[in-house]
Structure 1
Amino acid sequence: MKIEVLDDIKKGHKKCVTIEIPDGDYTVMLDIDYHQRLAKAPENKRSEVKRCETVQEMFDLMGNEEYNNWHRENRHAAYVPTKEVNGEEIDAFTFISDNSDEEERKKSEDYEAWCQVIRNALKSEEAEMTIAIAIDGVTPEEYAKQYDLKRDTVYKRYQRARKKLKKYMLEHWNELPFENNRPII
């Protein structure tokens, strides 16, 4: 008996291999395959498991299962072809620019610009408190505890600082160092 088996499916290249099995030996193999699939099947689906009549049928079934399992694991993986140039392997990602830190740089520039606007608009202590609360995310309670102040004092100072900052920004709107992302007041 001759059987064709698809080999090396995982790399995307189908290659047929012919296997010769002496008559009589394949029946044991078919029985073992049937019992293994029967054991794997859920209780309510066992009646649907059929015994393969030919070895080719069994190998086709095994090939489909193997391919489906491989595809389930790798269907979203990108295949990037590589090419050897002057003894060095080069892939497509070599030619793509890396802008991964550009967003972080932009955030840092925006942070510095905002801090400068706040420092220009407010006195030193007011500015540092506003930067801490409005930009750095420190709560008024934490700020009050850190500087040994009353919570209500910090709230009132912050409220006054916001009012001054708003007035400053309205007066100097066109001078602010922001292009497309104007602040919302």
Structure 2
Amino acid sequence: MPDITTRIQVDATPTAPALVLRPWTASDAPELVASGRDRALRRWTSFAVDDESSAVRWLREQRRGWERGHFAFAVEEAHPSGTGGLVAGHVVLKHVAPGAASAEVGYWTAERARGRAIAPRALRALTDWTATTFARDGLKRLELIHQTDNTASCRVAEKSRYELTAVLPPLPPAHPRDGHLHVRHLTEDPG
């Protein structure tokens, strides 16, 4: 399994700063609490951080997840000075198991960072890292699931070359609406 010190660098574009995908740390708690107040984020995800203590619990769960095939990364906008920037979102690779052919990805974007192509760039970087890190162990396919009415998430999937392959029925209470299943095969050319 990868080390919890893994960092993934994403180059700047002409219109967007570089990104750093890094494991979550305790110092991220205040930004998590701020993101937890975002109604749109709560509508589309199971993210439930209301205060400092729930942020600390969530961060602890993310760090422990690295031992169980759940690789959660803070998405940070790189500051031009080279120092750490603000957390712009979250990407995660879930359900990685030795010999398993598929795993799942997920993401969310902080309210202040939406509409700036943060999520697709972070998801593409996570996908490339996953292919490099796990494909030789038999991982061939990544799945991405979102509610059908979450059009922004659908656009992120499409921009990241995850093909819409099925509409899933609701599974309340966690998934009260139909879902889209997008798939990316790791044998594809990353272009």
Instruction: Name the TM tier (shorter chain).
Output: under 0.3
Judging by fraction of residues, say which structure has more strand: 2
Select the structure of larger CA radius of gyration.
1
Judging by fraction of residues, say which structure has more helix: 1
TM-score norm. by structure 1 comes to 0.22
Larger RCO (alpha carbons 8 Å, 6+ apart): 2
